[in-house]
Amino acid sequence: MQLQCVIGLEIHAELKTKSKLFCGCSTAFGAPPNTQCCPVCTGMPGALPALNQTALIYAIMAGLSLHCEISRYTRFDRKNYFYPDLPKAYQISQLYAPLCRNGFLISPLFPKKKIRIREIHLEEDAGKLIHDRSSTESYCDYNRSGVPLIEIVTEPDFVSGLEASEFIKALREIFLCLDICDCKMQEGSLRADINISCRQTGSSQLGTRTEIKNLNSLRSVIQAADAEFHRQTALIKKGKSILQETRRWNENTGKTESLRVKENTAEYRYFPEPDLPPLCLNENWVTAIKERLPELPDARKEHCLSLGLSEENAASLSAAPDLYSFFLSVVDHNVSARKAAGWILTDVLHFLRSSKKELLQTCLTPKIAAELLILMEKGKINREGVRQLTQVLLDKNIDLQNFIQSHGLALNNNTVQINDAIETVIAENPKAATDFYNGNSKTIGFFIGQTMKLLNGSGDPKLIRRILLQKLDENLS
């Protein structure tokens, strides 16, 4: 009996709106408990929800980018259950008429696999419980209560945890590109639940599924899926049955553990939300949103390739929205695309990483970057100069020309000085010269290096090479 793993994903993504889904409270992460709440998001008697239109637009953007149909008629439903972090004792969600349906996404690592998206719906987040370890008390923090979420529900189209995690990765790139979600799994702005079951290879019959909740990293998605699949296959091979239950991933033990066994059917007493009238979305309005969508990662990569970038550089740039848009602006200033990409992905990225900064937090502008690259192209500064300048430019606004002059970063084009240096080097290294005449062409590098050293690194390597070859030729004749 050959068993195959079958996985479906439910992904919750917090939308990056300034205010909550049904009130004006801030959604900023990390504020002191209960400082970002009001009668609406704490469910006070008499409070009514008022829909945040930006959240609706973001959810539609997500749907359009994932090839979904956008429902012309959509509405909210109440999901009723009791828990202290749910102040109204119901969550405003969508069951009967979700906003988006029937989409798909293909992740780059599995280009032949179309993952079907069943629906995307808009809903509000719950608050958080804080358990005091020093006593038996628990506290509620309603800052998160009412933060807008979209839930993306896939069909059970994955056969491994890796496929699922690659899907989340691709989804993350799209959402970052749309700028609708922070996608920080550790902070909980992107959370994944996986539904997992086994099926006999060749059969369409699915086994009993379990749900693993709140996976907060891509790695845990892969590990939890693998562990759960092994647990289920072991049980099946022993002839035991799988319980339909909710489980959680324990990183320390590397195992999934039971959280609660689902009763026959979850009793949420869903019914249409009477406080919010159904929405009839105007076709033109949705089209306008579609037209304003930014370029998605796939299209970006195509664009990069068309500018002559390598596959690798194209992939790296298209995955980083800020670097990509910076790159495009730099290229707009008539700079070679390949040189610009090379520089951004090495020097710029290196200093961003070492200083732990985002590009937008630095002083670097596309204009000055283009100036630098043009100077480099024209041979006015050397490689090391470019590196040094990049670091400086990230930190402060400077006049490029002045700085190069005052810091001696300009290439030395003084033929007399270079001549003198080369003569000294050849004279000091007779053995290397002999090697060269005997046909060891590698020695040329040695000579260039030594000359450069003598010139304190400021010599123009092309010029040195030309004069050096001339000199060696002259000496031979």
Q: Give me the residues that bind another protein (CB under 8 A), please.
A: 39, 42-51, 78, 80, 82, 84, 87-90, 140, 265, 267, 269-271, 274-277
Q: Cβ of residue 87: shortest distance to another protein, in angstroms?
A: 6
Copy the structure tokens of residue 427. Answer: 């004279």
Q: Which is nearer to another protein, 263 or 473 (CB)?
A: 263
The count of C-alpha atoms lying within 13 angstroms of the C-alpha of 181, restricted to the half-sphere facing its C-beta, is 29
Q: Which residues contact 372 (CB under 8 A, 6 or more apart)?
A: 381, 386, 389, 390, 393, 400
Please answer whether residues 151 and 168 qualify as being in contact, where contact means their C-beta atoms are separated by less than 8 angstroms.
no
Q: Which is nearer to another protein, 50 or 234 (CB)?
A: 50
Q: Which is nearer to another protein, 138 or 415 (CB)?
A: 138
Q: Which is nearer to another protein, 138 or 250 (CB)?
A: 138
Q: What is the DSSP letter of 184?
A: -
**The tokens 């035991």 sit on which residue?**
240
Copy the structure tokens of residue 343. Answer: 């520089």
Q: Cβ of residue 289: shortest distance to another protein, in angstroms?
A: 21
Strands 210-215 and 245-250: what pairing? Answer: parallel
Q: Cβ of residue 7: shortest distance to another protein, in angstroms?
A: 26
Exposed/middle/buried for residue 254 (C-beta within 10 Å: 0-12, 13-18, 19+):
exposed
Q: Cβ of residue 22: shortest distance to another protein, in angstroms?
A: 10
Instruction: Please give, one letter per residue, the 3-state secondary structure of 309-378.
Output: CCHHHHHHHHHCHHHHHHHHHHHCCCCCHHHHHHHHHHHHHHHHHHHCCCHHHCCCCHHHHHHHHHHHHC
Please answer whether residues 452 and 462 qualify as being in contact, where contact means their C-beta atoms are separated by less than 8 angstroms.
no
Sign of CA dihedral 452, 457, 459, 460: positive
Q: Cβ of residue 146: shortest distance to another protein, in angstroms?
A: 14
Q: Which is nearer to another protein, 39 or 308 (CB)?
A: 39
Q: Which is nearer to another protein, 186 or 264 (CB)?
A: 264
Q: Cβ of residue 381: shortest distance to another protein, in angstroms?
A: 59
Q: Which is nearer to another protein, 270 or 446 (CB)?
A: 270
Q: Cβ of residue 97: shortest distance to another protein, in angstroms?
A: 14
